């Protein structure tokens, strides 16, 4: 790039000729415009022209990040959360139901990776924002298989930093055959709160609050693992229907 500039630009030679008073900036720091084929997109002072590559390297990542954030926000506006669906509903059936109210790009029922059962909620990405709005208006509060479903547009995606923290929390979970399911959790309950709450019942190996994928939003349930079957039984008998942060929780074997 520097050699190309050297060929394209004539050397700047100071002159003793009088310079009009309205041209001080040209006298001290002449500006040149790079040909369109070089794609710099702005005028540069001659003093800066010798290092254009550094400017380009700095600008490119910023543009990439901005474009990525724009794409994520656009997709979030088309992505629907659909909750309280029957466990028997699969991707194809859900897509067929939603497609009656707008063009569907993708439907994904969320399954528990341990039990393989549907977690009774799903995400559906519509073709356009208008399709998403129409689907919410037509489907929210209606029934599928006798269950009243909840439909809304998903939250704004997490930042990369927040998402990495939640992924780290997920990866640190220690699974065990001695595990309890904890339901009806308040939205304020964290993984640490859950672990401390059950530590009085034995040796808690690990705990986690389930999150809506891609967000920090609690799904209202979690899991706690123990070292023995006796500790599991103790947790169920002493903690089921006990209040935790304003809500009576449900505890049973996972």
What is the pLDDT at residue 50? 45
E strands, the chain, in order = 31-33, 43-45, 79-83, 104-111, 118-126, 143-144, 147-148, 150-153, 179-183, 204-211, 218-226, 243-244, 247-248, 250-253
35 by DSSP, 3-state: which? coil
- Residue 187 has φ and ψ, to the nearest 5°, of -65, -20
What is the pLDDT at residue 160? 47
Q: For residue 240, give every residue at least 6 positions away whose Cβ sits within 8 Å of its Cβ, in sequence order, or none.
A: 249, 250, 251, 252
Homologous superfamily assigned to 75-153: RRM (RNA recognition motif) domain (3.30.70.330)
Topology agreement, domain 75-153 and domain 160-253: yes
Q: Which of 157, 104, 109, 98 lies closest to 128, judged by CA?
A: 104
- For 160-253, give the CATH class: alpha beta
Number of helices and strands (H, E) in the chain? Answer: 8, 14
What residues in the chain have per-residue pLDDT under 50? 1-17, 19, 23-30, 32, 36-60, 62-63, 65-69, 157-158, 160-161
What is the pLDDT at residue 213? 67
Do the beta carbons of residue 44 and residue 31 sit within 8 Å?
Answer: yes
Do the beta carbons of residue 251 and residue 239 sit within 8 Å?
Answer: yes
What is the pLDDT at residue 240? 94
| Domain ranges for the chain | 75-153, 160-253
- Model confidence pLDDT, tens digit, residues 13-36: 444 445 455 544 444 444 545 554
What is the pLDDT at residue 102? 93
User: Does the reported pTM lie above 0.75?
Assistant: no
- Model confidence pLDDT, tens digit, residues 121-148: 999 999 998 999 999 999 999 999 999 9
């Amino acid at each position: 790039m520097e050699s190309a500039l050297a060929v394209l630009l004539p050397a700047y030679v100071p002159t003793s000729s009088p310079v009009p008073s309205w041209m001080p900036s040209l006298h001290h720091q002449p500006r040149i415009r790079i040909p369109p084929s070089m794609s710099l997109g702005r005028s540069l002072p001659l003093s800066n022209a010798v290092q254009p590559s550094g400017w380009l390297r700095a600008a490119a990542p910023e543009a990439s990040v901005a474009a990525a954030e724009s794409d994520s926000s656009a997709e979030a506006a088309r992505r629907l959360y659909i909750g309280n669906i029957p466990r028997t509903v699969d991707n194809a059936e859900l897509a067929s139901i939603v497609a009656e109210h707008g063009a569907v790009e993708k439907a994904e029922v969320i399954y528990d990776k341990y039990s393989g059962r549907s977690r009774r909620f799903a995400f559906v990405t519509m073709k356009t924002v208008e399709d998403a709005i129409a689907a919410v208006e037509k489907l929210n509060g209606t029934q599928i298989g006798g269950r009243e479903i909840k439909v809304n547009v998903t939250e704004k995606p997490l930042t990369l930093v927040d998402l990495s923290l939640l992924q780290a929390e997920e990866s640190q979970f220690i699974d065990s055959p001695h595990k309890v399911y904890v339901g009806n959790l308040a939205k304020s309950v964290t993984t640490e709160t859950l672990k401390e709450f059950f530590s009085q019942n034995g040796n808690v190996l690990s705990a986690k609050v389930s999150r809506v994928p891609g967000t920090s939003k609690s799904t209202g349930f979690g899991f706690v693992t123990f070292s023995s079957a006796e500790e599991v039984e103790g947790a169920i008998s002493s903690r089921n229907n006990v209040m935790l942060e304003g809500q009576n929780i449900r505890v049973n074997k996972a």
